[in-house]
Amino acid sequence: MIPQSSRVDRFQSQRSNSVTSTPATYSEAKSNALIRDNYRCMLTGKIDATAYIYRPALREQLGNNPPPDVDDTECWHILPEYVISGIQNNQENRIDCPAILKVLERFGGISHHEFNEHGLHHWSNLMTVQLDLRLNLDRLGVWLDPVKGLENTYTIGRRHPGIRSDVPATIIFTASAPTLPLPDRRYLALHAACARVVHLSGASEAISLLIDEQARIGALLEDGSSAELLGHLCM
């Protein structure tokens, strides 16, 4: 029988060898996020189903007494892909890019140069979350408020108390290895601020429709209609 410590060491070695230093695709980004997040949702702790099925070493590590809670997960980009892609591709001349840059820099203290330097799929912009929880985050029904003075600690905000009541009130992020960067609290703070403004302004239904449309086409709208919401946030 292989000692438990040997199985864990083997699993840790396999995990470190799978890291992509500069991920260029969603698949590589998700793999990186899963490795950092120990193959589980950062908010609920549920184990990624694909990793659980296809990684025997992970199943050995988790054991079955009690059985682990397993579910499908996705890699969530805190700042959306369609926003950062437009900035990276030097599309500042598009109608809605000035509004985006204004939101990032004025309210988030985030320079658009960060994305040119680190890329869309940098660790700081990634979180492993359950499949349906990603939709709650995208639609601004759930958000994370950074706790002042406590590093990597957040309280969960909800549009209504019944939305994802299974998520703990306070979340503390940890990484599987100390060298792997955790999500950037500025990005999460900006996401939380946008969620609060949208709900206070009564624009929740409009933002849901806009997010669904942009997710469908995978890009910012050329006619500038997506700038209307961002412009409102800048006021």
Q: Exposed, middle or buried, 149 (CB in 10 Å: 0-12/13-18/19+)?
A: exposed
Q: pLDDT (tens digit, 9 = 90+) per residue, 151-164?
A: 999 999 999 999 99
**Helix, strand, coil percentages, rounded to 5, for the chain:** 50, 10, 40
Share of the chain above pLDDT 70, in %: 67
Residue 223 has what pLDDT? 46
Tell me if residue 130 falls in helix, strand or coil: strand
What phi and psi, each to the nearest 5 degrees, are found at residue 64?
A: -135, 20
Exposure on the CB side of residue 88, measured as CA atoms within 13 A: 17
Nearest of 64, 94, 70, 72 to residue 82 by alpha carbon: 94
Residue 21 has what pLDDT? 84
Residue 235 has what pLDDT? 42
Residue 221 confidence class, pLDDT cut points 50, 70, 90: very low
> Six-digit token pair at 225?
């209609």
Cβ burial 45-69 (10 Å sphere, 16+ → b, else e): ebbbeebbeebeebbebbeeeeebe
Q: Exposed, middle or buried, 73 (CB in 10 Å: 0-12/13-18/19+)?
A: buried
CA dist., res. 42 & res. 156, Å (int): 12
- Specify the pTM: 0.78
Strands 47-48 and 70-71: parallel
Question: What average pLDDT does the structure give for the chain?
Answer: 80
Amino acid at 138: D
Q: pLDDT (tens digit, 9 = 90+) per residue, 98-114?
A: 566 666 776 667 877 77
CA dist., res. 198 & res. 188, Å (int): 15
Amino acid at 163: I
CA dist., res. 176 & res. 188, Å (int): 20
Residue 84 confidence (pLDDT) above 90: no
Residue 216 confidence class, pLDDT cut points 50, 70, 90: low
Residue 101 has what pLDDT? 64
Residue 144 confidence (pLDDT) above 80: yes
Residue 97 has what pLDDT? 55
